[in-house]
Structure 1
Amino acid sequence: MAMIASCAMSGCATADRAPVRAAPTKVVATQTEVNGDYLTTLASRIKTETPAELASDADALQKAYSARRTEDNRLRLAAFLALAPAPNGDRGKAVALLDVPPGEANGRGRTHPVAQLLLPLLQDSKRADEALSTTQQKLRDEQKRSDSLQQKLDAIRDIEKQMLERTPVPQK
């Protein structure tokens, strides 16, 4: 309604339009420092990307890390693998990339602030996934047991019903 009034008052020259969302800048494999701001930007970007874009980003990060095995490239790849959904994300690989000892080739390794932030979260997530898997297996086993008991109960009811049908009723 406000748009119609605005259009009428301005001579229909321009109407208020919702701002067009610009494409997010490519931050995945750039030379920015890997820190909290990078993780926030990466997380918001991952939420809006299509599976094809996620696959492209995963490929670009893997190529960048393969070409130059720097601490920042390792952390970028690990952060992407930790935050991206399957099939592009891989928490196990992310943990392997983050949980390395400090040294010449690894930089600060597991002592880097990003690694110290992500490692406990990924390890907790892994434990939760394992607990969920165990619980789901127990549920499947209990369901099988329940189905088996139900079949036995139905068989007993059928036998009972047949016995009642066979037994002649005594007449007085």
Structure 2
Amino acid sequence: MFVADVQPPEGTVVPVIDYAQFWLVLGFLILASIVAYYFLVVFLTRPRPPKAAPVLPPARPPVHALQQEYLERVDEVARRAAAGELTPRRAHAELSVLVRGFVAAVSTVPADKMTLTDLRRTELRGVSHTVGQYYPMVFGAHDPSGTEAGIAAAREVIATWR
């Protein structure tokens, strides 16, 4: 006869036999390890996005090459002004753009996008003075008479840059 075949007498209350706490903890640990296994498999085997290469600032041409280029552009403005293709007001405006563009190309100062007040706050005193000389010529009420002084100032800023 087996123990399972033995029936308690009728009307007897049989106490509920509880499992040991060990089995409950073991069951949770097994379930947690299964979940952790699948999580790790998915996490560790997923494709990684490629690391972005560091962004390097664009290589700038040597200052000497930029000086030659901008001096040639100033000479072109002088030639066009002498030929009457540009009014003195327009010539001064183009010289201002050239000086600002040169400074932006050879330095970290974005002079081509700055107001005169912002430019005066930088340490570039000569540049801000030269650009300031162009303002009355470009925005003044009276037409300027000549472009020689403006052309000489632009050449000086560009040629003496170090």
Interval containing the TM-score (normalised by the shorter chain): under 0.3
TM-score (norm 2): 0.28
Considering Cα pairs closer than 8 Å and 6+ residues apart, tell me whether 1 or 2 has the greater RCO.
Answer: 2
TM-score (norm 1): 0.27
Point out the structure with max Rg over C-alpha: 2
The structure that is helix-richer by fraction is: 1
